[in-house]
Structure 1
Amino acid sequence: MKRIKYIYIVLMGLVVAGFSSCEDKLDQSPISSLGSNAFYQNEEDFITALSGVYNGLNAYPINHFELSEVRSDNIYSPGTAGVRDYNLINNFNRNLEATSIMNDTWNGLYNNIMRANTLLANLSANVVPDGDLRTRIEGEAKFLRALFYFDLVRFFGKVPVFDRPVTPLEALEIGRSEVPAVYDLIISDLEFSISNLPPNYSSATNFGRATSYAARGLLARVYMTRSGPQLHPDGPTLNSNEWGEALEQLNAIIDSNQFDLLDDYGDVFAYDNENNEEIVFDIQFLSGGQGVGGEYVQYHYPEAFGRSNEIPFAGGTFPDAPKTVSPDMMASFGDPDVRDDFSVWVNYFDANGNLVQDRFIKKYLDLDNLGVDRFDFELNFPVIRYSDILLMKAEALSQSGGSQLEIDALVNQVRSRAGYTLPLVLVSYEQIMEERRREFIGEGLRWHDLVRSGMAIDTMLDWIAADDAANKISTDINSDDLIYAVPLNQLDVKEGLYQQNPGY
């Protein structure tokens, strides 16, 4: 069973009381204010509002596929005719500020933060007298706010920080905070969540809610990102050397014995095996035309494939812009590896019976489990898996001079599940990152991994030289490309409030 429905059941007064007029006046700035005095009257109102904050996660799989997976050496999508936003992402175009994907990502994340801030500002003992419930609601909202800000800082670097609701006029005076200040709020929120959220939930109706271990996993990822070499002065990496802090969080998760690798890699993503013991935190989806299905699956397969396989309202990628799994990505899998066959569809027949030479991510697609349309896939999306915990620990040990024997054991544990019988010895940092690439293909981690490791520029230049058959990807890649452009409409809100990131 699913634990919570990530549907924002229009929050009555929260949405209508004063928001529409503010939106008309300042619809292009980070929104952190909603009229809500009439809404928060009892515990159920807060539970409904918290579901609304969770609902903001619906775009997470799409954002990280387009802005991390497509950006990386995993996907080759230069476009063949028309220009789609994700082609510009793939091609390292420097004119991204006017694209809808920049605007939608920025505004979407700030809308999510606004929801969390509004809930937190109204949370009190007068309305939620149950102290345990009140603390849990606060912990969940702060976990989600931290996740949203972590996305912002990884995508855009410096961003405005709102830790409370503000009016549109106040927002016009709040500029972009330095990256360390953004991290201060992220870390503070996650530390609160770790201290106040339960390690698990006994009721299946609560599956999918943030736990203390989910917060630990995210905090470990934050520390590791901060620890990466600072190649961009306003990027997400700070060369902070917090590998030990990350290890503390990772060891707590491992030592809990609450999580484990499943024997079969494919079972992690099975429609009838959701919320399994490998999931530390995932995003819940439901099918059946209830408005809470997952749209993200259609962002992977081609439209012609969807039509030939009778996916209702097929959707899929555009014919002029397939998202092809790159030759280099495919070549990285060894012969025993089961993850490529499970994760990648190689060639298909279209509706006219013609063989189409293409490779696309199929990890989340089960043709026996289709919803009512392309927006209605029910499979949950993993944000943090136990294999990620193991490989993050191997990476942190490698970066901090930890035990080589332990590094080897952690990596070989993941490789063994993938089908490799011959263990690696003296596993290098580069091998760890390649193992992550294979393990998490299609999960939106690759570009973030490359940025964190300091390998992004060299890796992408080598990949472009080898795989860019269409000769469309810029070879002028440098540190400016480690973060994205601030949306143009944000720069236009008030002259001088924000400055564009260098290179755009």
Structure 2
Amino acid sequence: MKRSKIYIIGSLLTMLLFSACQKELLEPNPESLLNTENFYQVSKDIDKAVLGIYSRLQSRKPTDYLLLEIPTDNLYASTNTSVSGANALDVLAVTPDNDLIADFWVANYSIIFRTNAVLNNIDKPTDYKGIEKNQYTGEAKFMRALTYFELVRLFGGVPNVTTLLSAEDAKRVPRASEADIYKLIIDDLKDAIQKLPVTMAAGRASKGAAIALLGKVYVYQKKWIEAEEQLSQLFKAPFSYILVNNFADFWKMTNENSKESVFAITYLAGSNAHNLSTAFIPNGGVAGVVSRGAEVALPSWSINKLYISGDTRKASTITDMLISKIGDTPLWYPYVSKYAVVHDYGSSGLDLPVIRFADVVLLYAETLYGLNRPGDALIELNKVRERAFAGTSKNYILSDIASPADFSDKLFLERRLEFAYESERWYDLVRSGKYLNFTSEERAYNPNTGTALIVPVATRAALKYLPIPQKEIDKARDVLDQNDGYN
């Protein structure tokens, strides 16, 4: 249901938070200090500022696939893709001047600026009621941690900014170490866990979301004991997260705010919508969904062929036969249908998940295996498998995960099929080391010939990190050093 969601009107927040004379300060690296002398006076101002943090993530999230799925073996840019930088990323021709990489950097530091503005002004109001001050602090720290987690996974060490800076001071902030960024993330999340309530309105971070994210951070660091301590909490009271019975149900607007949603970004068709539901639709549209599509990217045969018979995730992720208009003869034209809800062109109200309980389950499986508990890991891995196949017929057995390599293959296969097009694939390719094996991609498949177009991609060790955007290096007057392999 939509009634408890956050609906953020961007223009209003912009008017409240920023003045026209400060336009040049909106996109420095990191985002700079804005004049807020007349803001943050009462608790309502802080609440609006927190909503402004979510608003910036709302605008970024629908385009994450351009950076986190198109460069992978899940998706490829269509012939009519006009997004600057997408075609280069499509074949891993990654350079420091790629516009998508630069835009992602700026968007994230914009979120960080807004979190810092809240945290640096949190003590000003004197009219907080109940837990409001703790809640707003926890939300801001969760969002700052989430944003730095995005950055550190992609770039390694990045500028560590926790205060409000002038434009000139921002240009003199060097990259912190990766370890320092992870410390900031963990410290923020530990504090957020203490301050956030268990129950929050849809679209706002809760205690469970902060615990889940901290567990995920520990998994990425292979700190299995710490990860188990966090993730295990989410399987018991006071939390009530579950996997919804049918995978397809999670992607229905009538089932938003389900118990599988740990943290999601909320949207409302028309006034606060996104275009992701349109982005994957073929140009001619899909009958009963939308009259035309943007067809920015199409699903690769590399992933399509991995969905075996009986896997219910397939029908809710990729549709092979296209019917553009009612009465048309079905045409073989695979497209991503995970977000294909009924909507007007470019105006979808479908919520976009950031953390699903399915992610918690698979992260917990990974953690238990890391703790040398393969039997327990298998139970968690099979929870997702059983949901996918509506029963135990395709469950893995211990002999399937007899070695660490076996387990890794099965785990990342399930993650790939479960989270396809949810902007997890690039992170999983890199952290598993499997990006080094990604040398070619099967794209368009011809069912008449039984062959697919195979396209080579330029994988290399340097892609463990993306390049620091060149425009940020130039702006920072050589304070920022470039990642190896991009000079």
- Structure 2 distance, partners of 1:465, 1:325, is 7
1:215 to 189, 210, 221: 210
Alignment of 1:36-51 (within 5 A): 36-51=36-51
Give, in angstroms, the shift of residue 125 of structure 1.
Answer: 5.6
- Aligned letter for 1:493? K
Q: 1:17 to 1:127 in 2, by over 3 A?
A: farther
Alignment of 1:113-192 (within 5 A): 113-124=112-123, 126-130=125-129, 132-192=131-191
Deviations 1:63-86 (A, max 9, x none): 431222222211133758978522
3-state SS of paired residue (1:222): helix
Alignment of 1:204-243 (within 5 A): 206-227=201-222, 242-243=223-224
RMSD: 2.6
1:381 — aligned with what? 352
1:316 to 294, 297, 301: 294
Give, in angstroms, the shift of residue 469 of structure 1.
Answer: 6.0
Normalised by the length of structure 2, the TM-score is 0.89
2:85 — aligned with what? 85
Q: 1:355 to 1:80 in 2, by over 3 A?
A: farther
Deviations 1:282-330 (A, max 9, x none): 111111x21x112222222232336x76836x45125xxxx22222212
Give, in angstroms, the shift of residue 197 of structure 1.
Answer: 0.4
Report whether the alignment pairs 1:295 with 2:295: no
- Say if 1:261 and 1:278, in contact at 8 Å, map to a contact too: yes
- Structure 2 distance, partners of 1:21, 1:364, is 36
Report whether the alignment pairs 1:247 with 2:248: no
Which range moved further: 293-302 or 181-190? 293-302
Q: 1:338 to 1:116 in 2, by over 3 A?
A: same
- Say if 1:79 and 1:87, in contact at 8 Å, map to a contact too: no
- Structure 2 distance, partners of 1:401, 1:455, is 22
Which range moved further: 465-474 or 166-175? 465-474
Give, in angstroms, the shift of residue 32 of structure 1.
Answer: 3.3
3-state SS of paired residue (1:280): strand
- Structure 2 distance, partners of 1:276, 1:465, is 34
Report whether the alignment pairs 1:105 with 2:104: yes
Report whether the alignment pairs 1:413 with 2:390: no
- Say if 1:284 and 1:380, in contact at 8 Å, map to a contact too: yes
3-state SS of paired residue (2:64): helix
- Structure 1 distance, partners of 2:335, 2:283, is 11
1:390 to 345, 355, 361: 361
- Structure 2 distance, partners of 1:10, 1:333, is 44
Q: 1:353 to 1:99 in 2, by over 3 A?
A: farther
Give, in angstroms, the shift of residue 421 of structure 1.
Answer: 3.1
Deviations 1:456-499 (A, max 9, x none): 212x1265799996565434x22211222222211211432112
Normalised by the length of structure 1, the TM-score is 0.86
- Structure 2 distance, partners of 1:109, 1:418, is 34
Structure 2: which 5+ residue stretches go unaligned?
402-406, 446-450
Q: 1:6 to 1:146 in 2, by over 3 A?
A: farther
3-state SS of paired residue (2:257): coil
Q: 1:168 to 1:124 in 2, by over 3 A?
A: same
Structure 1: which 5+ residue stretches go unaligned?
228-241
Q: 1:94 to 1:343 in 2, by over 3 A?
A: closer
- Structure 1 distance, partners of 2:203, 2:81, is 41
2:417 to 438, 441, 444: 438
Give, in angstroms, the shift of residue 21 of structure 1.
Answer: 5.0
Q: 1:81 to 1:154 in 2, by over 3 A?
A: closer
3-state SS of paired residue (2:241): coil
Give, in angstroms, the shift of residue 434 of structure 1.
Answer: 0.6
Alignment of 1:58-69 (within 5 A): 58-69=58-69
2:57 — aligned with what? 57
- Structure 2 distance, partners of 1:226, 1:275, is 30
